């Protein structure tokens, strides 16, 4: 009886598995997803490498090498391509060997085409990593912290065998080449790269570790254990991978409660497939060694991190092609082992290199499926809300199964895929639990949806948040962070010192460190500012930026200007009180533009136009940046950061709905109506009345800056248009632009430059599907479009008379192109692209790592910026424009009346302030 | 007179020495600044330039010319009138209720009720609840239930601002006064109730009015004063929720108006005049409350 039952169950299970896997196989065959947004047609996307290689199961791996003659190295710029003929004698699967050098400071991305077609998805986005070196050794001169050395990009060719850098597949990529003449084309998609050689060749895969054979080959080392510190890395793929301080315990080497040693390398900077670090180490004598890595992997919860380990450019044993470092919340010694037994490495006396590359790990194979699911579900979600709206009426049955049968069919397909993935994950992973949970929930939810499509409208917001959760998990699952503190070469693993410190040691370490916080001078370089040649500078920004800036001051400014010392401090508030009490700094960085004039009118800031070279210095800024700091012919501040708004749009959705990117407000209104019809929105938050006012030919203040010009025809016209977006065309007053843009609910968003950075980082799944353009404008009579945009500026001030020459030197130095570029690049390496600063130095700003499309737009916008003069009492303008706006939008007042009600109030405040300041009698 | 003072100091020498540290601090950081504020309120002073004496101009300007001041005054008074009684009665009732539980449950409940007032960061959560996005918590619920069809701008629409302010303020109004009640309830001698029941008290309401409340009079005074002070000085809450200033000044209060004059408009003279008025208001409010508290149990 019992046996029968068990049999029945097992048969059912087998059937279930079959049912779950079958559709997937079918799905894989007909290109995975039925997304309507197959962007660029020439790429045969959606064939994943795993499916590709599976279809050539019986093909040979010929042991031949076919070099492709290039002659001179070929340099490819963005969008350029190289194409050459390859004569293949023996058909079969080859790997591609390539020597390259990236130009510029970031890695290049190339796409490969064989006979005009990308063979599989992974070949369409191959990152070719750069190589970086430290210029000098880590300096420990400083008492409280080591100084991070500068890095430079190596000017040398690197030879690699292509691997997957998206992170879906751990091994090398094989290309099937039929016999005869073939064409290989390499397109450079991002940045630029020089290629010196290309060859289809045979990869001689390493054999598995064979303990007996290795032990016979030599003698096991019998001396003292040799250690080398991981922070002294030789080369690495990104400038953002550098020696870092980990103050988590006493066991790190070196560590001190008082000093921030740079004692490890890696962490979240070293996590994307393809990123590598290289070390050089000295072997004392020829022998067999065990290698131990002291590591920690707690940056990604519960997941193992995988590395390919190469010694002297070769993977010694097959086990090291994809070596797993288990999750560990504390530092741990991992002696490289096979089958639980430490491996021995035969090393000759002298210098060797060790290289570790991030490779896709245990989740790698399922990630492409998850990515397809997310993309499809996002499309499905959008198709659903095109019918129901994002706030669907829950009492109504939209009969979705008959209105959008394709979408419902796709939901079914995705549900099946998810169920299959969940099952696979449950079987294999050590720590995929979070992903399993999210996918399980989503799959259950889809099941409920499919039972009755009426349920979809009931649970739309939850559905959306589940998709977002899955795509967030997808980003994190690709990443494989790893911190390494120390390497050891030893005769056996017991000879390596423990990775843990005793409880007592750790306690004293932490406690002393805590006590030390009371005495440590975090400014680190406080100099007596009363001295003749010392200027005090206040940076009004966060700690990371302060650290970077103060390093630049030390390493560059003080070397260039040996006669000036800088007392550099991080002070965020209290500038006003400091000025009142006479304790103001010589220079303040990061002051908002309304404050500049507030201080200037009260004689607390000195005029910068008095210096002999001021004309030349200010000419490099955009004129618009100076407007708000200029009064008559005096300039009171130096622009530091300048930001403005742009139009962001989803290419796929606008194409689908046949909407062109709006260039005027009239086109914008048409686009809004079309999108509304499909229940999609436009994020209008980035448009402002002031901008419209200038586009209509009006201006905010009269030429003497003594009163507003809000009662003109242009002003009323602009205000009517601005409010009509909300009252007549239903633009939303508040929304979360990032997520709505990503799901496609809001295919057009007007937002600041920072939105570009946010979306690039936050939503990799829509990479390539969105674009930027200039803000819409107003059609002029001559047929051109006035699409000027207003800008926001922050400034640096000189607040003291007596050392103003030195302060002026500092200002000039800080805003110079090279310093700004270094400053921003360093910030980006630490805080990531989303922290990119919009420097007011146009040269620096344009030289940042933008896509070519973005750069073209920025070039255009450069001439279209408007600065708004600062007027005493100008805070009243923005405040009451807001009030007038609310009267129209909330209380249905007529725009002209609402605006008119506040004109006198604003003008009165301006007049009062002017009188107080003695600007009028 | 002078003689008396000197003699007094000699007689209570020890007490004077003991209170000296506090008195010094009190004078330096409270009495003197108040004095300075009164003097500055009679001047025109833009912080960076020297003050100019203008007499009562600032006060006159506030009452006669400044509409926004009247709005701020109205908002502040209305806020106090709603919040003070609600928070006083609320504190008392909840403390009374909690008092009947076993000690462990009581400690837990005290914690639960007191937590809102020490978790200042919770205002961010309120912003999420009252977010104007259709995915904002409240909007979403109301739209799901079909009460509204498009999102309401709780935080920027002047029609809702004041109501939202009061709701959030009441939510975190179980403050120090509440704690003092909880402690005081423990201190009431149970024999009093026994004696009273012999004297003919019939129900719990009478118990409350004739025994509990008069015994708690000092704590009620304390709770009243903290409630008044905190209601009159409301400002930060409004600024975090609605921005500074709120749309059409719908959530503007005297403190915010003062900050507006001082920080944005650089009119420190007017700001000081406002501070002086707020001071007078608070003193007056406290007097008024004392009158009420004295009548309890009589």
Contact of A331 with A267, CB cutoff 8 Å: no
In degrees and rounded to multiples of 5, residue B182 shows phi and psi of -55, -45
pLDDT of residue A722: 94
**Beta-bridge partners for A199:** A67, A97
- Compute the nearest-CA separation of A437 from chain B (Å): 24
**Angle between the N-to-C axes of helices A804-814 and A817-831, in degrees from 0 to 180, rounded to the nearest 10:** 60
Give pLDDT tens digits for B111-160. 888 887 777 667 788 888 998 888 888 988 888 788 888 888 999 899 99
**Beta-bridge partners for B234:** none
Give pLDDT tens digits for A156-184. 888 888 888 877 777 789 999 999 899 99
Strand, helix or coil for residue A64:
coil
Query: Chain A partners of B43 at a C-beta cutoff of 8 Å?
Result: none
Contact of A835 with A827, CB cutoff 8 Å: yes
Strand, helix or coil for residue A305:
strand
pLDDT of residue B1: 58
User: What is the rounded CA–CA span in Å between residue A484 and residue A276?
Assistant: 13
A886 and B158: CB-CB below 8 Å?
yes
pLDDT of residue A413: 93
- Compute the nearest-CA separation of A571 from chain B (Å): 18
What is the percent of chain A with per-residue pLDDT over 90, rounded to a whole number?
31
pTM over 0.80: no
Q: Which of A602, A685, A733 to mutate to test the interface with B (most CBs of B within 10 A)?
A: A733
Query: Chain B partners of A736 at a C-beta cutoff of 8 Å?
Result: 133, 135
Q: Which of A16-20, A280-284, B131-135, B250-254 has the lowest mean pLDDT?
A: A16-20
pLDDT of residue A37: 35
User: What pLDDT band is residue B2 in, cutting at 50, 70 and 90?
Assistant: low
Query: Chain B partners of A872 at a C-beta cutoff of 8 Å?
Result: none
pLDDT of residue A28: 36
Dihedral angle of Cα B137, B138, B139, B143, to the nearest 10 degrees: 100
Contact of A785 with A663, CB cutoff 8 Å: yes
Q: Which residue of A has its CA nearest to B152?
A: A733
Which of B46, B131, B264 has the CB atom closest to A875's CB atom?
A: B264
pLDDT of residue B112: 87
A734 and B133: CB-CB below 8 Å?
yes
Cβ atoms within 10 Å of A60's Cβ, excluding its own: 10
pLDDT score of A252 more than 60: yes
Q: Which residue of B has its CA nearest to A879?
A: B245
pLDDT of residue A278: 94
Give pLDDT tens digits for A392-422. 777 788 888 889 999 999 999 999 999 998 8
B157 and A886: CB-CB below 8 Å?
yes
Query: Chain B partners of A462 at a C-beta cutoff of 8 Å?
Result: none
User: What pLDDT band is residue A39 in, cutting at 50, 70 and 90?
Assistant: very low
Query: Chain B partners of A909 at a C-beta cutoff of 8 Å?
Result: 265
Which of B135, B150, B151 has the CB atom closest to A736's CB atom?
A: B135
Q: Which residue of B has its CA nearest to A732?
A: B133
- Compute the nearest-CA separation of B238 from chain A (Å): 16
**Beta-bridge partners for A436:** none
Identify the helix (H) or strand (E) that includes residue A740: helix A737-743
Query: Chain B partners of A734 at a C-beta cutoff of 8 Å?
Result: 131-133, 136, 151, 153, 156
User: What pLDDT band is residue A22 in, cutting at 50, 70 and 90?
Assistant: very low
Contact of B216 with B177, CB cutoff 8 Å: no
Query: Chain B partners of A461 at a C-beta cutoff of 8 Å?
Result: 135, 140
Task: Provide long-range contacts, Cβ within 8 A and 24+ apart, for A806-809.
Answer: A806/A533, A806/A535, A806/A561, A806/A564, A806/A586, A807/A535, A807/A586, A807/A587, A808/A608, A808/A611, A809/A561, A809/A564
pLDDT of residue A34: 33
Using only C-alpha atoms, chain B has a radius of gyration, in whole angstroms, of 24
Q: Which residue of B has its CA nearest to A458?
A: B144
B46 and A580: CB-CB below 8 Å?
no
A916 and B46: CB-CB below 8 Å?
yes
Give pLDDT tens digits for A551-579. 888 778 888 888 888 888 888 777 888 88
- Compute the nearest-CA separation of A460 from chain B (Å): 11
- Compute the nearest-CA separation of B151 from chain A (Å): 9
Query: Chain B partners of A914 at a C-beta cutoff of 8 Å?
Result: none
Q: What is the mean pLDDT of chain A?
A: 85
Alpha carbon A560 to chain centroid distance?
33
- Compute the nearest-CA separation of B158 from chain A (Å): 8
Return all residues near A884 (Cβ < 8 A) that are at least 6 apart: A719, A895, A898, A899, A901, A902
pLDDT score of A38 more than 80: no
Q: Which residue of B has its CA nearest to A462?
A: B135
pLDDT of residue A129: 87
Contact of A152 with A135, CB cutoff 8 Å: yes
Contact of A833 with A854, CB cutoff 8 Å: no
Q: What is the mean pLDDT of chain B?
A: 87
Pairing relationship of beta strands A792-798 and A587-592 according to DSSP bridges: antiparallel
- Find the mean pLDDT for residues A62-88: 86
Query: Chain B partners of A917 at a C-beta cutoff of 8 Å?
Result: 46
User: What is the rounded CA–CA span in Å between residue A721 and residue A689?
Assistant: 8
pLDDT of residue A520: 55
Selected residue with higher pLDDT from A49 and A672:
A672
What are the distances in angstroms from CA A61 to CA A94, A198, A300? 7, 18, 37
User: What is the rounded CA–CA span in Å between residue A633 and residue A799?
Assistant: 19
- Cis status of the peptide bond prior to B245, with omega within 30 of 0: yes
Pairing relationship of beta strands A748-752 and A645-650 according to DSSP bridges: antiparallel
Using only C-alpha atoms, chain A has a radius of gyration, in whole angstroms, of 32
Q: Which two tokens stand for residue A406?
A: 């394709």
Q: Which residue of A has its CA nearest to B266?
A: A598
User: What pLDDT band is residue A637 in, cutting at 50, 70 and 90?
Assistant: very high
Q: Which of B45, B146, B265 to mutate to test the interface with A (most CBs of A within 10 A)?
A: B265
Give pLDDT tens digits for A726-774. 999 889 888 888 888 988 889 999 999 989 988 887 777 787 789 999 9
What are the distances in angstroms from CA B90 to CA A601, B210, B227, B229? 51, 19, 12, 17
Which of A579, A883, A909 has the CB atom closest to B48's CB atom?
A: A579
Strand, helix or coil for residue A281:
strand
Output DSSP code: residue A24: H
B135 and A734: CB-CB below 8 Å?
no
Contact of B237 with B119, CB cutoff 8 Å: no
pLDDT of residue A150: 75
What phi-psi label fits residue A129: left (phi over 0), alpha (psi between -120 and 50 degrees) or beta? beta
Q: Where are the alpha helices (DSSP H) in B172-252?
A: 176-187, 190-199, 204-207, 213-215, 217-232, 236-242
In degrees and rounded to multiples of 5, residue A157 shows phi and psi of -85, 140
Highest mean pLDDT among A284-288, A361-365, A521-525, B48-52: A284-288
pLDDT score of B13 more than 80: yes
Give pLDDT tens digits for A614-635. 999 999 999 999 988 888 888 9
End-to-end CA distance of chain A: 107
A788-801 as b/e: b if 16+ CB within 10 A = bbbbbbbbbbbbbe
Task: Return the half-sphere exposure (C-beta side, CA atoms, 13 A cut-off) of residue A318.
Answer: 9
User: What pLDDT band is residue A529 in, cutting at 50, 70 and 90?
Assistant: low
Which of A864, A898, A856 lies closest to A727, judged by CA? A898
What are the distances in angstroms from CA A304 to CA A296, A465, A504, B194? 11, 27, 30, 69
In A511-564, DSSP assigns E strands to 534-539
Q: Which two tokens stand for residue A322?
A: 């994809």
Give the residue numbers in A contacting B (CB under 8 Å), as ranges.
Answer: 390-391, 393-395, 461, 576, 579-580, 598-599, 602-604, 732-736, 873, 875, 879, 882-883, 886-887, 890, 909, 913, 916-917
- Find the mean pLDDT for residues B190-196: 87
B48 and A604: CB-CB below 8 Å?
yes
Contact of A457 with A393, CB cutoff 8 Å: yes
Q: Where are the alpha helices (DSSP H) in chain B?
A: 2-11, 13-26, 32-40, 57-64, 67-99, 103-118, 122-129, 137-144, 158-171, 176-187, 190-199, 204-207, 213-215, 217-232, 236-242, 254-259, 268-294
A400 burial type by CB count under 10 A (0-12 exposed, 13-18 middle, 19+ buried) = buried
Angle at CA of residue A487, ends A481 and A492, nearest 5°:
125
- Compute the nearest-CA separation of B157 from chain A (Å): 7
Give the residue numbers in B contacting A (CB under 8 Å), as ranges.
Answer: 44, 46-49, 131-136, 140, 143-144, 146, 149-151, 153, 156-159, 245, 247-248, 263-266
User: What is the rounded CA–CA span in Å between residue A206 and residue A679?
Assistant: 57
Q: Which of A581, A636, A890 to mutate to test the interface with B (most CBs of B within 10 A)?
A: A890
B146 and A732: CB-CB below 8 Å?
no
pLDDT score of A705 more than 90: no
In degrees and rounded to multiples of 5, residue A307 shows phi and psi of -135, 145
pLDDT score of A900 more than 80: yes
User: What is the rounded CA–CA span in Å between residue A738 and residue A731?
Assistant: 16
A599 and B144: CB-CB below 8 Å?
no
User: What is the rounded CA–CA span in Å between residue A787 and residue A767?
Assistant: 27
Selected residue with higher pLDDT from B66 and A533:
B66
B275 burial type by CB count under 10 A (0-12 exposed, 13-18 middle, 19+ buried) = buried
- Find the mean pLDDT for residues B173-196: 85
pLDDT score of A101 more than 60: yes
B153 and A875: CB-CB below 8 Å?
no
pLDDT score of A42 more than 50: no
Give pLDDT tens digits for A465-519. 888 888 888 877 878 899 999 999 998 888 888 888 889 998 999 898 888 877 7
In degrees and rounded to multiples of 5, residue A534 shows phi and psi of -110, 130
What are the distances in angstroms from CA A283 to CA A219, A487, B183? 14, 12, 73
Q: Which residue of B has its CA nearest to A594?
A: B264
pLDDT of residue A433: 67
User: What is the rounded CA–CA span in Å between residue A70 and residue A57?
Assistant: 32
Q: Which of A388, A727, A730, A734 to mutate to test the interface with B (most CBs of B within 10 A)?
A: A734
A734 and B49: CB-CB below 8 Å?
no
Q: Where are the alpha helices (DSSP H) in A841-874?
A: 842-847, 852-861
Which of B47, B143, B245 has the CB atom closest to A879's CB atom?
A: B245
User: What pLDDT band is residue A36 in, cutting at 50, 70 and 90?
Assistant: very low
- Compute the nearest-CA separation of A200 from chain B (Å): 54
B133 and A391: CB-CB below 8 Å?
no
User: What is the rounded CA–CA span in Å between residue A656 and residue A649?
Assistant: 13
């Amino acid at each position: 009886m019992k046996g029968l039952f068990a049999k029945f169950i097992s048969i059912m299970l087998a059937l279930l598995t079959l049912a779950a896997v079958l559709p997937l196989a079918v799905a894989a065959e007909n290109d995975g997803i039925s997304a309507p947004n197959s962007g660029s047609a020439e790429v045969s996307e959606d064939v994943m490498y795993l499916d590709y290689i599976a279809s050539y199961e019986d093909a040979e791996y010929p042991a031949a090498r076919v070099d492709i003659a290039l002659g001179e190295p070929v340099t490819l710029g963005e969008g350029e391509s190289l194409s050459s003929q390859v004569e293949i004698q023996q058909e079969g699967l080859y790997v591609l060997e390539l020597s390259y050098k990236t130009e510029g400071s970031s890695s290049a991305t190339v796409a490969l085409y064989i006979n005009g077609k990308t063979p599989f998805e992974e070949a369409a986005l191959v990152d070719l990593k750069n190589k970086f070196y430290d210029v000098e050794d880590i300096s420990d001169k400083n008492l409280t912290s080591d100084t991070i050395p500068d890095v430079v990009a190596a000017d040398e060719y690197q030879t690699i065998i292509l691997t997957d850098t998206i992170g879906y597949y751990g091994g090398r990529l094989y290309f099937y080449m039929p016999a005869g003449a073939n064409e290989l084309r390499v397109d450079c998609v991002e940045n630029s790269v020089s290629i010196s050689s290309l060859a289809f060749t045979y990869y001689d895969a390493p054999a598995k570790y064979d303990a007996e054979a290795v032990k016979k080959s030599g003698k096991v080392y019998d001396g003292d254990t040799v250690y080398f510190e991981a922070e002294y890395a030789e080369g690495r793929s990104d400038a953002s991978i550098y020696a870092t301080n980990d103050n988590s315990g006493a066991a790190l080497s070196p560590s001190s409660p008082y000093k921030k040693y740079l004692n490890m390398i890696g962490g979240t900077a070293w996590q994307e497939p393809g990123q590598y670090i290289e070390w050089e180490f000295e072997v004392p004598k020829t022998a067999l060694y065990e290698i131990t890595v002291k590591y920690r992997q707690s940056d990604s919860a519960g997941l193992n991190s995988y590395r390919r380990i190469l010694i002297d450019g070769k993977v010694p044993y097959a086990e090291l092609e994809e070596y797993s470092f288990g999750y560990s919340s504390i530092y741990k010694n991992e002696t490289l082992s096979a089958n639980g037994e430490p491996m021995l490495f035969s090393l000759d006396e002298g210098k060797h290199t060790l290289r570790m590359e991030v490779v896709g790990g245990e989740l790698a194979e399922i990630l492409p499926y998850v990515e397809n699911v997310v993309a499809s579900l996002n499309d499905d979600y959008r198709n659903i809300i095109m019918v129901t709206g994002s706030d669907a009426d829950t009492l109504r049955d939209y009969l979705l199964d008959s209105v959008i049968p394709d979408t419902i069919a796709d939901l079914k397909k995705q549900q099946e895929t998810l169920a299959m993935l969940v099952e696979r994950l449950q079987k294999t992973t050590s720590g995929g639990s979070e992903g399993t949970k999210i996918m399980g929930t989503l799959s259950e939810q889809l099941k409920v949806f499919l039972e009755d499509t009426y349920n979809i409208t009931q649970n739309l917001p939850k559905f959306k948040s589940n998709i977002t959760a899955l795509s967030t998990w997808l980003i994190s699952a690709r990443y494989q962070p790893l911190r390494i503190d120390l390497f050891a070469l030893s005769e056996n693993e017991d000879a390596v010192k423990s990775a843990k410190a005793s409880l007592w040691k750790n306690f004293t370490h932490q406690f002393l460190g805590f006590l030390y916080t009371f005495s440590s001078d975090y400014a680190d370089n406080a100099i007596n500012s009363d001295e003749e040649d010392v200027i005090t500078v206040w940076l009004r920004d966060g700690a990371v930026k302060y650290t970077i800036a103060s390093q630049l001051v030390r390493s560059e400014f003080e070397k260039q200007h040996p006669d000036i010392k800088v007392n550099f401090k991080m002070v965020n508030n209290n500038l006003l009180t400091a000025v009142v009490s006479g304790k103001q700094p010589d220079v303040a960085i990061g002051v908002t533009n309304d404050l500049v004039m507030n201080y200037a009118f009260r004689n607390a800031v000195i005029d910068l136009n008095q210096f002999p070279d001021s004309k030349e210095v200010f000419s490099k800024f955009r004129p618009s940046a100076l407007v708000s700091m200029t009064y008559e012919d005096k300039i009171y501040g130096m622009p530091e950061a300048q930001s403005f708004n742009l139009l962001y749009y989803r290419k796929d959705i606008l194409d689908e709905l046949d909407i062109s990117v709006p260039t005027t407000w009239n086109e914008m209104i048409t686009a809004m109506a079309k999108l509304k019809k499909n229940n999609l929105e436009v994020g209008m938050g980035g448009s402002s009345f002031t901008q419209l006012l200038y586009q209509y030919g009006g201006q905010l203040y009269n030429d003497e800056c003594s009163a507003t010009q809000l009662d003109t025809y242009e002003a009323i016209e602009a205000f009517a248009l601005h409010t009509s977006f909300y009252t007549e065309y239903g633009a939303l007053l508040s929304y979360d632009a990032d997520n709505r843009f990503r799901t496609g609910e809001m295919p057009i968003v007007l937002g600041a430059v920072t939105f570009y950075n946010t979306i690039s980082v936050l939503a990799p799944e829509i990479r390539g599907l969105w674009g930027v353009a200039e803000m819409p404008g107003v059609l002029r009579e001559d047929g051109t479009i006035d699409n000027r945009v207003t800008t926001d500026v922050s400034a640096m001030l000189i607040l003291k008379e007596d050392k103003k020459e030195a302060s002026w030197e500092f200002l000039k130095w800080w805003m110079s192109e090279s310093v700004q570029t270094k400053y921003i690049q360093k910030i980006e390496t630490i805080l990531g692209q989303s922290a990119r600063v919009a420097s007011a130095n146009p040269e620096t700003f344009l030289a940042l790592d933008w896509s070519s499309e973005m750069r073209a737009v920025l070039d255009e916008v450069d001439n279209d910026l408007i600065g708004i003069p600062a007027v005493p009492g100008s805070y009243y303008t923005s405040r009451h424009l807001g009030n007038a706006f609310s009267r129209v939008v909330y209380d249905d007042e007529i725009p002209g009346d609402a605006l008119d009600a506040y004109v006198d109030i604003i003008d009165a405040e301006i007049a009062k302030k002017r009188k107080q300041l003695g600007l009028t009698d | 007179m002078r003689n008396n003072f000197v003699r007094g100091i000699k007689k209570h020498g020890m007490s004077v020495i003991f209170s000296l540290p506090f008195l010094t601090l009190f004078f330096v950081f409270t009495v003197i600044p108040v004095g300075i504020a009164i003097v500055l309120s009679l001047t025109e002073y833009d912080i960076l330039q020297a003050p100019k004496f203008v007499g009562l101009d600032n006060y006159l300007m506030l009452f006669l010319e400044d509409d926004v001041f009247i709005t701020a005054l109205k908002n502040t008074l209305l806020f106090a009138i709603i919040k003070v009684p609600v928070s006083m009665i609320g504190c008392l009732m909840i403390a009374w209720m909690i008092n009947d539980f076993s000690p462990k449950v009581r400690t837990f409940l005290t914690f639960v009720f007191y937590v809102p007032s020490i978790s200042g960061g919770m205002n961010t959560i309120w912003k999420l609840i009252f977010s104007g996005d259709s995915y904002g918590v409240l909007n979403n619920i109301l739209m799901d239930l079909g009460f509204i069809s498009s999102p309401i701008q709780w935080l920027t629409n002047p029609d809702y601002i004041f109501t939202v302010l009061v709701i959030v303020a009441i939510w975190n109004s179980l403050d120090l006064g509440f704690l003092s009640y909880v402690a005081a309830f423990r201190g009431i001698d149970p024999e009093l109730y026994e004696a009273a029941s012999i004297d003919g008290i019939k129900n719990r309401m009478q118990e409350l009015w004739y025994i509990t409340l008069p015994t708690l009079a000092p704590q009620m005074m304390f709770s009243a004063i903290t409630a008044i002070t905190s209601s009159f000085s409301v400002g930060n809450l409004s600024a975090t929720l609605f921005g500074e200033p709120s749309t059409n000044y719908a959530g503007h209060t005297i403190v915010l108006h003062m900050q507006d004059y001082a920080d944005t408009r650089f009119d420190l003279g007017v700001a000081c005049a406002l501070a002086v008025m707020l001071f007078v208001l608070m003193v007056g409010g406290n007097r008024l409350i004392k009158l009420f508290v004295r009548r309890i149990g009589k």
